Amino acid sequence: MLESLVRDLRSDRAGLIRAARRAYLLGLAALTLPGLVLGAVLALTRPAPVPFAAVLALLALALVLALVVLRLARRAASTPEVPARQAALTGAIQAATAPGVALLLACATLSQGVSVLLFVVLAAGLHLVVWAQLPGWVREPDAVN
C-alpha cells in the first residue's frame, strides 16, 4: 500500500487524489483501530450506560468538531505556500479526524447498541462528505516536486 502511495504521489493530479485518499484511510485506521480494541476491553467490564441525553450531546459535539476539522483540513490543503503534494496529504490526514472522532465515541459506548449505531451513522456520513470533497482540495502537482 505504501509503494502505491509513493508512486501516486509522484504522478499527476489523479494520482495525487488517489494518494490523498489512501493517506486519509490510513489516518482513519490509525485513529480507530486502537479505539476499537480499547472499546472492546471497556465493553467487557460492563460499564454503566451513558444517559441518552449525554449521547445526544456527544453527537452534537462530534458534529461540531467534525465541521471545524473539515474547515481546517480544507484550509491546509489549499495553502499556496506549501507544495501541492504536501498540502494534499496534510489535508487528507487532518480530514481523517472528522469521522474518526465519531468512531472513537462509538468505541467508547460499545456496550450500548443504539449509541454505537448513532455514532457509526454520523461517522459514515462524515466519511462520505470527506470522500466526496477530497478531490476538490487537491491542486495540480508542482513541476519541481
pLDDT at position 1: 65
Using alpha carbons, select from 137, 1, 17 the residue that is nearest to residue 78: 137
Task: Convert the chain into a string of H (helix), E (strand) and C (coil).
Answer: CHHHHHHHHCCCHHHHHHHHHHHHHHHHHHHHHHHHHHHHHHHHCCCCCCCHHHHHHHHHHHHHHHHHHHHHHHHHHCCCCCCHHHHHHHHHHHHCHHHHHHHHHHHHCCCCHHHHHHHHHHHHHHHHHHHHHHHHHCCCCCCCC
pLDDT at position 127: 98
pLDDT at position 145: 43
Cell numbers at 54, concatenated: 449525554
**How large a percentage of the chain has pLDDT more than 90?**
63
- pLDDT in tens for each of the 145 residues of the chain? 667 767 776 778 888 899 999 999 999 999 999 988 988 898 888 888 899 999 999 999 999 999 999 999 999 999 889 998 999 999 999 999 999 999 999 998 888 989 999 999 999 999 999 999 999 999 888 755 4
Residue whose C-alpha cell is 480544507: 74
Distances (CA, A) of 139 to 17, 96, 102: 9, 19, 28
Tell me the per-residue pLDDT of 73-98, one tens digit each, with 9 for 90 and over. Answer: 999 999 889 998 999 999 999 999 99
Residue whose C-alpha cell is 476491553: 41
Cell numbers at 1, concatenated: 500500500
Q: Flag whether the pTM goes above 0.75.
A: yes
Strands (E), 3-94: none
